[in-house]
């Protein structure tokens, strides 16, 4: 076991991940679309929101426990669905799911995961969430939903903001594809990552486990690339949500909401939760940050609508508290746990959750609060509300 006592923040874990993870996969996580202006704004806009420090308040018994979709969570944070997680660290989705389960926060598996739905179900006992991209092959979509049901997934998270793929310059320059291109620079870089290569050689999970062997005509890596290039469905629209909701029959979360009008439409579909998200700045460059759009989306939803969560740009427990103060009922972290996973596997994911919990707890106290469920915008300076 690694000694992580000197790891104090996400930046520490990110530096270690950059050293350990092959460049093409590290860059896949650490990148945005086009100029990356929205990717940067996601983080920068959080830092503009300032807290009110309060003193001489009894803050001895602080509570971070909350609920997301009616389930008890140790803090209002979930691990977001992230593609190719098992390339940051071998068996990465399994390791992250186990860390989340032990910590008491939700884990959401991506359609584009390396480990399959069945892999996660076999290695965890707590219900997890499944995120679905809607593909042109509707039969595949139906079978994917049915597989999530069979695995006892407790929520279906439908991502709405990837009807077409944003242009990510680092991925293009690195030749990242499915499967990755064995270019000379990539091969040379792999030679500098012996720990990653050794661990990857010890697992059979090196492809998209939810697709290969399940989609028609996709039986190996050679047939995967053309299938994925053709399958994201640009015709996806609100009428499809009703079909998905009926087929699924359980808790439904709509991810990728960044506009008040879309939030109202999501409410009309009967979604149980929405995620205010710009896909981590990886889709529409030039879009607003998620945290900047949160207040207007909260207003559009009203008090009787679905739960509103937020992702994109969260790097600390302070960011979580900012989102909660502005009205979110939960948050999701993506890159934060990916860096931690790449650095130290399951132990790293546990460490970043501990760091976020500690930052959230201490900041809650400094703001004179003792219960995360009672936090309002009053903990922020007036100009930030």
* 342 is known to lie in a ligand binding site: no
**Active-site residue among 71, 169, 214, 279?**
279
* 166 is known to lie in a ligand binding site: no
- Cβ neighbours of 304 (radius 10 Å): 6
* 131 is known to lie in a ligand binding site: yes
Round to whole Å and give the CA distance between 311 and 42: 9
First to last CA, the chain: 43
* 82 is known to lie in a ligand binding site: yes
Instruction: Select from 81, 55, 98, 169 the least CA-distant residue to 349.
Output: 98
Up-side HSE of residue 271: CA atoms within 13 Å toward CB?
29
Round to whole Å and give the CA distance between 109 and 147: 13
Round to whole Å and give the CA distance between 235 and 52: 46
* 83 is known to lie in a ligand binding site: yes
* 335 is known to lie in a ligand binding site: yes
* 159 is known to lie in a ligand binding site: yes
Residue 24, φ and ψ in degrees, nearest 5: -65, -35
* 249 is known to lie in a ligand binding site: no
* Residue tagged 């945005």 (tokens): 32
For residue 145, cis peptide bond before it (omega within 30 degrees of 0) = no
* 28 is known to lie in a ligand binding site: yes
* 314 is known to lie in a ligand binding site: yes
* 222 is known to lie in a ligand binding site: no
279 is catalytic: yes
* Nearest-5° Cα angle at 201, 198 to 203: 120
Please give the annotated binding residues, written as ranges. 28, 81-83, 110, 131, 133, 159, 168, 255, 277, 279, 282, 311-315, 334-335
Please give the annotated binding residues for glyoxylate, written as ranges. 28, 133, 168, 279, 282
Please give the annotated binding residues for FMN, written as ranges. 81-83, 110, 131, 159, 255, 277, 311-315, 334-335
Catalytic residues: 279
């Amino acid at each position: 076991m690694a000694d992580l006592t000197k790891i104090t923040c996400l930046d520490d874990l990110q530096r270690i991940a950059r050293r350990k993870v092959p460049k093409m996969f590290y860059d896949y996580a650490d990148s945005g679309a086009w100029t990356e202006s929205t990717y940067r704004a996601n983080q920068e806009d959080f830092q503009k929101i300032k807290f009110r420090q309060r003193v001489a308040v009894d803050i001895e018994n602080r509570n971070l426990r909350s609920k997301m979709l009616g389930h008890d969570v140790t803090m209002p944070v979930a691990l977001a669905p992230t593609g190719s997680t098992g390339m940051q660290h071998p068996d990465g989705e399994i390791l992250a799911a186990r860390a989340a389960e032990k910590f008491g926060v939700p884990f959401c598996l991506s359609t584009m995961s390396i480990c399959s739905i069945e892999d996660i179900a076999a290695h965890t006992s707590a219900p997890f969430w499944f995120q679905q991209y809607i593909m042109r092959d509707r039969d595949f979509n139906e079978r994917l939903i049915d597989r999530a049901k069979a695995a006892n997934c407790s929520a279906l998270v439908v991502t709405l903001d990837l009807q077409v793929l944003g242009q990510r310059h680092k991925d293009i320059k690195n030749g990242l594809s499915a499967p990755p291109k064995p270019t000379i620079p990539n091969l040379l870089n792999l030679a500098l990552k012996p720990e990653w290569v050794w661990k990857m050689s010890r697992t059979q999970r090196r492809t998209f486990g939810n697709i290969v062997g399940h989609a028609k005509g996709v039986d190996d890596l050679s047939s995967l690339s053309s299938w994925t290039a053709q399958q994201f469905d640009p015709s996806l629209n609100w009428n499809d949500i009703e079909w998905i909701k009926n087929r699924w029959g359980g808790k439904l979360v709509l991810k990728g909401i960044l506009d008040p009008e879309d939030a109202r439409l999501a409410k009309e579909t009967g979604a149980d939760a929405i995620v205010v998200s710009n896909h981590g700045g990886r889709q529409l460059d030039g879009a607003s940050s998620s945290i900047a759009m949160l207040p207007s989306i909260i207003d559009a939803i009203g008090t009787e609508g679905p739960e509103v969560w937020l992702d994109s740009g969260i790097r600390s427990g302070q960011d979580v508290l900012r989102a909660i103060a502005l009205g979110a009922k939960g948050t999701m972290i993506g890159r934060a746990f990916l860096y931690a996973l790449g650095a130290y596997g399951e132990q790293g994911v546990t460490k970043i959750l501990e760091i976020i919990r500690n930052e959230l707890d201490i900041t809650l106290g400094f703001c004179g609060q003792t219960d995360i469920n009672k936090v309002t915008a009053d903990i922020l300076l007036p100009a930030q509300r």
